[in-house]
Amino acid sequence: MSGQSPGAEIARSPAAWERLAKNWMLEVIERSPLEEVDELPLGWISHEAAPLIAEILGLLSDAGAARELRLSPAALERAAMLARERNPEALVKKLPGEFAALQTLLIEALDREVPERDRREFARAVSRLAEVFGAVQAAAMESLVGPEPAVATAQPVKQSDSRTPDEPDLPSAWLTTLVSEERRTGIPFAIAHFEVEGVERISKGYGAEAADRMVDAVAGILDGQLSGRERSFRTGFGQLLAVIPGVEAAQAVELATAVSDVVERSQGGRGPRVQVAVGLASCPLHGSTPDQLREAAEVAAWDARAGGRGIAIATVSMNEHI
In DSSP terms, 321 is beta-bridged to: 312
Confidence of residue 248 (pLDDT cuts 50, 70, 90): very high
| Cα gap 130→120, rounded to integer Å | 16
| Cα gap 167→289, rounded to integer Å | 18
Q: What is the pLDDT of residue 317?
A: 41
Percentage of the chain lying above the pLDDT 90 cut? 21
Residues 210-243 have pLDDT tens digits of 788 788 888 888 888 888 788 888 898 899 999 9
DSSP 45: I
| Cα gap 160→273, rounded to integer Å | 25
Of 64, 72, 60, 169, the C-alpha closest to 123 is: 60
| C-alpha dihedral, 321 to 238 to 236 to 194, nearest 10° | -20
Beta-carbon contacts of 114 under 8 Å, excluding residues fewer than 6 positions away, are 1, 6, 121, 122, 125
CA pseudo-torsion sign 87, 134, 105, 204: negative
In order of 104, 127, 134, 213, the CA distances from 219 in angstroms are 14, 9, 10, 10
| Cα gap 70→296, rounded to integer Å | 39
In order of 57, 70, 188, 246, the CA distances from 238 in angstroms are 27, 27, 27, 27
Confidence check: pLDDT of 293 > 90: yes
User: For the packed helices 119-142 and 50-61, what is the interaxial angle rounded to 10 degrees?
Assistant: 140
Cβ atoms of 148 and 155 closer than 8 Å: yes
**Mean pLDDT across the stretch 137-154?**
46
**Mean pLDDT across the stretch 98-105?**
82
Confidence check: pLDDT of 286 > 60: yes
Q: What is the pLDDT of residue 146?
A: 38
Beta-carbon contacts of 188 under 8 Å, excluding residues fewer than 6 positions away, are 182, 246, 247, 248, 282, 283, 284, 285
* Stronger pLDDT, 193 or 79, i.e. the higher one: 193
Q: What is the pLDDT of residue 282?
A: 95
| Start-end of CATH 3.30.70.270 domains in the chain | 169-321
CATH class of 169-321: alpha beta
Q: What's this model's pTM, rounded to 2 decimal places? A: 0.52
In order of 161, 168, 271, 299, the CA distances from 154 in angstroms are 20, 25, 42, 30
Q: What is the pLDDT of residue 242?
A: 95
* Stronger pLDDT, 90 or 154, i.e. the higher one: 90
Confidence check: pLDDT of 90 > 80: no
Q: What is the mean pLDDT of the chain?
A: 77
Of 90, 196, 82, the C-alpha closest to 137 is: 82
Confidence check: pLDDT of 138 > 70: no
Confidence check: pLDDT of 304 > 70: yes
**Mean pLDDT across the stretch 12-16?**
83
Residues 204-217 have pLDDT tens digits of 887 888 788 788 88
* Stronger pLDDT, 245 or 88, i.e. the higher one: 245
Q: What is the pLDDT of residue 320?
A: 46
Percentage of the chain lying above the pLDDT 70 cut? 73
Question: Taking phi first (over 0 means left), then psi (-120 to 50 degrees means alpha), and beta for anything else, what does residue 92 get?
Answer: alpha
Confidence of residue 279 (pLDDT cuts 50, 70, 90): very high
